[in-house]
Structure 1
């Protein structure tokens, strides 16, 4: 199957990021685990091999960027929170390159407190509460009972406690309206046609009146109910539409599941087991126009109450969970400080909600809550095939993309460009631009670095300009973050955490990750000159003249060029192509190499035959390798790339079960295993408690082989 066909079948990717914590202090490490799924199937996606991570402050400025290598939709990494960071609210963004075609990304909010810097809190604005109304069925149908969902949020997206009354057209109270802890109220209303209803909200001094949506008679409703093993879709209409005929569609991310003509007073039953799991949508069309849309969820929310266990400090904890074999999960055991926002794989269901939902713990997700989320959500998935995209997926390699433009006149077709990295052995790619001047160059993330350049080949007159597209998003929507507020209890908690963290860091031993190694690629016909095996000459010019017979160099010290004495070419071969000249893996010039001190050089590699990289041809290769592998004092030839290096593979955090009585245990993250694959239906977790007492949560988040979300948690105390 071609890459394009694979991408077409898995058109959309979505990312969920599980954090070790979303409430941290400077000096701690934020660990993250990434699940990249196909929106069409829910299964982990093998389309993208890199995930891009950004940490943004309250102003939207990027304070940290990194990339992590991904295999079959799973990746993990970490961010050490330095003492340069300001206290405040932050956003962590995560996405694949393919997701940029759809302007999509995952977003997690977190709080970082820096106890080593003075923090001046911004003034909290007076809450401006906005109400959003969602009618079960889509429209308020006159003379019928309607269920109305009302959501209350302030300008920060925070839940606001409200007291309100529902008033009829005469200003009389119909009923009191009570909002729950999630800022949601349910109202059952049988409106009279033409009558105006209002919500009277109590404020400090008076009432604020908000109009409810108007009722209608020439309209229809679309209800979705769960009935045991079936889904019931009921269509109702007012008198004005009683004789009309509509079209009912049920759609998933995989395509259309049901398409049937229907009256506007009918019911349809669907069998759950015959439907895909996850979010689905029922749509009603009348006269060719979509008049109603209702999202609903097909899935289970079974939570086993494991109770709250108690353990002593420095004690081994072992727990077992039932999970499908082959599930890919992240396991964490973390102290709860009361200021965290709960995390759950199910929270991905709020992605298309028009309401800002607070963090909801995995055990709090229920079918009624999910139904409320679905009622507030819109369907934004286009199941049609896409014809063109700007960004190709990074399937088995990283991609550098850019565009060539002519300085004067029109661009020639198929201009050759090449990519190289200083300090990386032969991490090179070359290609031709397309008709629009756009190019795509590949690199191996394990060996690329931040000293990469892209250059135009065969352009001594510099006829072209080159633009390298940025790896990361250049901007995000504005975010209004609520100011942090600290009471005495929170300040004491931060002090205790800071001291414990300093003790942990004092005993921390850094493990240097070995650099990725590979054998220098064998190029047919390459000859190596190791300079220590010869008498060293005082200049590189003399070294080439006396040793490297394959390359012609002028004795005139004011002339800088290499003339490759190319072997095995036809007399009629008139191709004017340049020689690949490399200095420590990056493109360089004859002038830079001839001015280099030969005492810095370890060897010279030469291949005096035509060399092809895809459709791009070079007139041989000259490669200089210095002892320090740093290019001496020269910069690589080409347009620099702002390329972020890939993090090394993430490690498991936690004790190995062996107690060190001479070492304090002040860690509040007891266990973090980001890349677990279950090998049976019984999954066992073991770790040691520390000396930090309090309430902890053991959490398992992941994806089953069939694409179903996994979200399990249990709480325990350490005393």
Structure 2
């Protein structure tokens, strides 16, 4: 490809990005974003998972197209963070699960969900969660009452009035163990295009007094769980319209119009550039998903300035009062029985694995593809040093040594003045930009798998470079050393939580999986429930008798809230 055409292409791409941010910024200012967190339950035992779906909505309850990332955070009774997850938002929807570890103590917790865009409006979605850890036996608020209302004992002793819905139609309301349940939807409501094209979740879960101790937020009342708080400092918050944001500041004497680089190692890796403003502030946008949780930040054209990376924490005063709960002593047998069921299910986890869904990788191509020439070093005579390897194999590269310091250059055969015209060469090892060329030339070339070279002027991030030299090691384990002359700053990013299809067994015959026990309390969790595809839906009961609740919750395509519920009894 002609070099001028390549440079023109990259300049046009940069202009398109600037235009995108300008138009998108105006759009974002006129659209406020809200977060609704739908969970499968509000009371859990240690060793269980909380399943959740995050709706990112505009003012009319329709999916927001702004944020690409959302967060869920669990706080304990003292308002300290217990765990935090980041999920990818696709067309206003995200989902995941939160495992309640056996190290988590019994008590009351607060679940908070948000996007950076919602944070900019000082808004958080907050709901309460009760955790009982039967392995630590440290729950303090037990009532001495022997009342068994709502417990499994009470359900077994008398006939149960099963709640039903005219819109959720079942093949029966009473079922045996491992029996097929068929769910249909009223034909008239399916004629409603807005309902049919809506955005829903489906949950089937065993209910008793413990599971009903705290109500679950629903689509029809989710705004009751949205709280604004002026104590949220939003100055450092940047909406994540394209991906992960890293912001920070250069401090020193010469801080304006300086280039900050971000390297995210991997195969392929990510490399981004940002330019500081007159105050030394910078913003870097990283694509989703990140190939690694570690990001290396380095100033490119200054050595006497320090980099400070912004961080954000939800202040305790922004967290609403956390509820306290009293449990009946009569619930203890139910809790003990459920804890045993959880242990059995966890013991057979290898037979009941959830399916991880692959996330579309926006950065699957190297930023310099397809311009590179690749040298697989095993195809040539091996040399122990980088110097010999460059001289004998990689003809597009050459180096100089002045006052004991190496510099690397690319050789453009079409332009004998390319070195002076285009400045320095971009050097990478395993995706980490190398400023200290001594680390490059001191590396053992026998550990290298391949070298990729772009030997012409390359325009990227507003800067013009004298080509690219990208080295991939065999093990992908290069460690960049920090030094005073070329300081390196690390930023550990919260990894992206996996999206899954959750396990759901099929018992087509009486002997299907007969030797594998089934003690599921959560029979179904479908965070993305598409009525067009699943208007006739089926699942199987487990070996656990009791009352189960089938709940469909979400929004129509017009933004109208939908919450349907019916029940079945398993004997």
* TM-score, with structure 1 as normaliser: 0.64
2:489 aligned residue: 639
User: Secondary structure of the equivalent of 1:503?
Assistant: helix
**Cα displacement (A) at 1:713:** 0.9
1:662 aligned residue: 515
**Cα displacement (A) at 1:685:** 3.1
**Cα displacement (A) at 1:69:** 1.1
Structure 2 stretches of 5 or more lacking a match? 1-19, 144-163
Q: Decide whether the 8 Å contact of 2:275 with 2:282 is kept in 1.
A: yes
2:133 aligned residue: 114
**Cα displacement (A) at 1:100:** 1.8
User: Secondary structure of the equivalent of 1:109?
Assistant: strand
**Cα displacement (A) at 1:479:** 4.9
Do residues 401 (structure 1) and 242 (structure 2) align?
no
Compared CA separation, residues 599 and 449, structure 1 to 2 (3 A): same
**Cα displacement (A) at 1:530:** 1.1
Q: Decide whether the 8 Å contact of 2:426 with 2:433 is kept in 1.
A: yes
Do residues 672 (structure 1) and 513 (structure 2) align?
no
Q: Decide whether the 8 Å contact of 2:168 with 2:183 is kept in 1.
A: no
User: Secondary structure of the equivalent of 1:617?
Assistant: strand
**Cα displacement (A) at 1:708:** 0.7
Do residues 562 (structure 1) and 408 (structure 2) align?
yes
Do residues 705 (structure 1) and 549 (structure 2) align?
no
2:94 aligned residue: 75
Q: Decide whether the 8 Å contact of 2:270 with 2:367 is kept in 1.
A: no
**Structure 1 counterpart of 2:466, from 593, 612, 619:** 619
* TM-score, with structure 2 as normaliser: 0.79
1:25 aligned residue: 45
1:325 aligned residue: 196
Give deviations 1:71-108, integer Å, cap 9, x for gaps. 11111111222222122222222111211211212122
The 5-angstrom pairing of residues 273-352 of structure 1 reads: 304=166, 309-321=173-185, 322=189, 324-339=195-210, 340=212, 341-343=214-216, 344-351=218-225
Q: Decide whether the 8 Å contact of 2:419 with 2:466 is kept in 1.
A: no
When Rg is computed on C-alpha atoms for both structures, the one with the higher figure is 1
Q: Decide whether the 8 Å contact of 2:244 with 2:288 is kept in 1.
A: no
Compared CA separation, residues 404 and 345, structure 1 to 2 (3 A): same
Give deviations 1:327-347, integer Å, cap 9, x for gaps. 110000011132332221122
Give deviations 1:387-442, integer Å, cap 9, x for gaps. x98644333x313231333323x632x22122211224131121323344332222
**Structure 1 counterpart of 2:330, from 482, 486, 489:** 489
User: Secondary structure of the equivalent of 1:679?
Assistant: helix
Q: Decide whether the 8 Å contact of 2:356 with 2:501 is kept in 1.
A: no
2:437 aligned residue: 590
Compared CA separation, residues 346 and 398, structure 1 to 2 (3 A): same
1:532 aligned residue: 378
The 5-angstrom pairing of residues 60-459 of structure 1 reads: 60-119=79-138, 121=140, 304=166, 309-321=173-185, 322=189, 324-339=195-210, 340=212, 341-343=214-216, 344-351=218-225, 391-395=237-241, 397-408=242-253, 411-412=255-256, 414-459=257-302
**Structure 2 counterpart of 1:3, from 17, 20, 24:** 24
Runs of 4+ aligned residues of structure 1 deviating over 6 Å after TM superposition are 305-308, 514-517
User: Secondary structure of the equivalent of 1:673?
Assistant: strand
Give deviations 1:232-273, integer Å, cap 9, x for gaps. xxxxxxxxxxxxxxxxxxxxxxxxxxxxxxxxxxxxxxxxxx
Q: Decide whether the 8 Å contact of 1:399 with 1:440 is kept in 2.
A: no
**Structure 1 counterpart of 2:452, from 602, 605, 620:** 605
1:51 aligned residue: 70
Q: Relative contact order, CA 8 A, sep 6+: which one is greater?
A: 2
User: Secondary structure of the equivalent of 2:456?
Assistant: coil
Q: Decide whether the 8 Å contact of 2:355 with 2:502 is kept in 1.
A: no
Compared CA separation, residues 512 and 449, structure 1 to 2 (3 A): farther
**Cα displacement (A) at 1:529:** 1.8
Give deviations 1:96-148, integer Å, cap 9, x for gaps. 12112112121221112222224163899xxxxxxxxxxxxxxxxxxxxxxxx
User: Secondary structure of the equivalent of 1:641?
Assistant: strand
Q: Decide whether the 8 Å contact of 1:329 with 1:674 is kept in 2.
A: yes
1:211 aligned residue: none
Once residues 110 and 521 of structure 1 are traced to their aligned partners in structure 2, the CA distance between those partners, rounded to angstroms, is 44
Once residues 52 and 615 of structure 1 are traced to their aligned partners in structure 2, the CA distance between those partners, rounded to angstroms, is 32
Q: Decide whether the 8 Å contact of 2:117 with 2:239 is kept in 1.
A: yes
Number of residue pairs the alignment of both structures matches: 503
Structure 1 stretches of 5 or more lacking a match? 125-301, 355-377, 381-387
Give deviations 1:153-196, integer Å, cap 9, x for gaps. xxxxxxxxxxxxxxxxxxxxxxxxxxxxxxxxxxxxxxxxxxxx
User: Secondary structure of the equivalent of 1:608?
Assistant: strand
User: Secondary structure of the equivalent of 1:492?
Assistant: helix
Q: Decide whether the 8 Å contact of 2:250 with 2:281 is kept in 1.
A: no
Q: Decide whether the 8 Å contact of 1:421 with 1:451 is kept in 2.
A: yes
Compared CA separation, residues 476 and 567, structure 1 to 2 (3 A): farther
Once residues 355 and 198 of structure 2 are traced to their aligned partners in structure 1, the CA distance between those partners, rounded to angstroms, is 31
Q: Decide whether the 8 Å contact of 2:425 with 2:468 is kept in 1.
A: yes
Once residues 52 and 569 of structure 1 are traced to their aligned partners in structure 2, the CA distance between those partners, rounded to angstroms, is 50
